[in-house]
Structure 1
């Protein structure tokens, strides 16, 4: 009896091993890593440095481990990352110090149709799949949707995307829904954004803990700009990460006609409505208030963004390329204001092999401070990668906010790449201007010219898996930049400098 059972077990084990070997033969498994330490010297990165402040120097690091499994009917990927500053933790820590380990990606792409794969008995479409889970959402040049990979933490979405390719057309339909808790006694679907500062200043300037369930106003003191609070003039956009969306839906399509690619986007994102509230700070003798928004109101503010991008390529070796796009934004912004905004982008590129030249212009509409319109004309570039477009010092549409008057940015870039592709260097120049009028604190218009930025970036490939990058940026700013960055006039250095040195190490541990 036992001999028969043993023989059956051997047969089952043999069949299982054979099936696993056959499956592995048709599948591909890759495991890759990333170690990206970056040292920075900041003397005005992201915003002007006020007089009397000292330069900052630090080293940040991203560590990632990515597993990708590809089979004819399934793609599965998970990416675990750790982001921290050197010295952020003591050399010996306890469990009370918490963990900065996070799940950057965890998604699966279920392939339902693929005419190029003979393992499918029937394939009504050239390609059709459902991608679900935590994922990066990236399209075109990343103006509006991108991973913002310059940030060590990057950006990802918890979403589901239907992906269709048919007769040369690409059509993606995606959606996401965010919530704070799944507690049984939690009522309603109110969503409070999670990116809230731990501490905030009250109306007397005291540093206090942020009240629970509240998004504090910047500086808390004086909601009116007349009291010296310029934050009301220049609120951050969605790239500032101060408010995540409650829900998001989008339709993306693209088609290539010979050497010209045309793509379109229609996206809606909804934000929880909120009401102004205050909390009294009773700590100490100097009593103040913390002002902010409570996200406990019914319904949502819906914003929609739509537009087209055209990218023709010319020449026998594709030396010439043009890019032109227009996007319109309507509905209501995250704070409930009616929207009527637009963005225009244009660039022309020539690549001779070792030298590449790019000239371009981005225009993002803003609010005219002398207009009586109650509609906002301030375009918000959604969830893109601002570091790529509006200067490497990240003064605009990044975490440090952007001017209420919008932005007009003509730019020029020149890049050299060695014949062996191991060395490259690029010099970029940005000329920053307000798109519309902005007032100073006395009610007069400021000059539209904000400043000029120069970015020098040099990269060298040390080996197959290691890239070293050195960057140096300098800006010549005007007093108008102080207003654009919420700084009282005459209190900041107008010649900021920023430098960094980065290693990007990306080994492949397994690729079979």
Structure 2
């Protein structure tokens, strides 16, 4: 009799598992970089950086008809950072990248709660920043609706540093780490056109109990027909930045065109104009892209809006590119970008920042992919003044070389 109960229990367990889906996968992604002018001009006397950083992730997902759960655990390891036989992770980069549950509410509605990636449109304002080994996530509650080509996402967040400060409602002070966030994203598809509207408010802590609220709003349009594609962004910012700095007249406008010339060649061209700071003391007219995948824009060498250039002279980025399908498993891309300031530098009266060339090649093998790149900046006269390096003392070549291995095993599906 006891054996029959055991068999019945196993059958019921198998039935429940059959109605659900469990996935277990991972990622192993080491990247080696040689930096000789990445992010800023390097003086001639400075030594280049050279390092390897690995991202290791383990992802588990479980879904039923009524809910989904997802857990992503990662560690970011700088080769050689831990002394031999050390008993702990020195950099404290072992963490939970994602941990969320999504509940199905019926009639197209659902809610997603927990640590998650917020990525929308071309990732200009909100993106996962997958290039960075640590990635970007948000602790938020997300209400979602989707039906007949229309999607609505409403996100709400309130951040706290630690439980010890629970008696103090304001304890998040890192630059551009928001205390509160309210975000509404709407998307509608009209045949070949996809149109989005973003409304977002971020509250930044200014001590106790002050909060500065910054509003970002705008639209993303994407049209594709046949071999031709066009994408456009138009965003404005108003309100206050960190430190009660008034934001007035800040904007980001862009237009990108793509054309598939053949099965093996794709061409692109575009322009982006980001406003700079022309306001007086206590004010700014500079736009900041906030939580997007900024590495994707304005050159791969990250001279702008990646931990820098936040309240500077703005940017005009005119770029052209080409993608080549070398074979069924290999691709090559080339992009050329010309940079000028949206305003002139006060010190020089001009804004010739320079030209960047980005070359990326990828090759797929059985079970893994190799990617590599070379970038070089040809600095303009005003880039030296902007970055605080005199032209006479700067290195002759400002470049960046990298190579990355990507393995994404599927353990269970």
Distance 1:468 1:345 in 2: 31
Deviations 1:332-385 (A, max 9, x none): 1123111120000110101232111110111110113xx647531100101001
Residue 425 of structure 1 is aligned with which of 332, 345, 349? 332
Contact 1:476 1:494 in 2 (8 A): no
Q: 1:262-277 residue pairs with structure 2 within 5 A?
A: 262-273=195-206
Residue 79 of structure 2 is aligned with which of 82, 86, 93? 86
Distance 2:287 2:205 in 1: 19
> 1:166, CA displacement in angstroms?
2.6
Matched, 1:406 2:339: no
Matched, 1:462 2:373: no
Bigger Rg, which one: 1
Distance 1:59 1:74 in 2: 39
Q: 1:111-190 residue pairs with structure 2 within 5 A?
A: 111-113=104-106, 125=107, 127-183=108-164, 186-190=166-170
Distance 1:505 1:186 in 2: 41
Secondary structure in structure 2 of the residue aligned to 1:363? strand
TM-score (norm 2): 0.95
Distance 1:135 1:430 in 2: 33
Matched, 1:299 2:205: no
Q: 1:197-276 residue pairs with structure 2 within 5 A?
A: 242-273=175-206
Structure 1 match to 2:343: 436
Kindly indicate which of the two structures has a greater share of residues assigned to strand. Answer: 2
Deviations 1:8-43 (A, max 9, x none): x55554443223212222222111111111111111
> 1:416, CA displacement in angstroms?
0.6
Q: Which runs of 5+ in 1 are unaligned?
A: 1-6, 114-124, 195-241, 274-295
**Structure 1 vs Structure 2 CA RMSD:** 1.9
Residue 254 of structure 2 is aligned with which of 334, 345, 353? 345
Matched, 1:356 2:349: no
TM-score (norm 1): 0.77
1:98/1:147 CA distance change after superposition, 3 Å: closer
Distance 2:287 2:90 in 1: 40
Matched, 1:38 2:38: no
Distance 1:403 1:415 in 2: 33
Which has the larger displacement, 52-61 or 423-432? 52-61
1:430/1:60 CA distance change after superposition, 3 Å: same
Distance 2:159 2:9 in 1: 41
Secondary structure in structure 1 of the residue aligned to 2:384? helix
Aligned length: 411
> 1:437, CA displacement in angstroms?
2.4
Structure 2 match to 1:326: 234
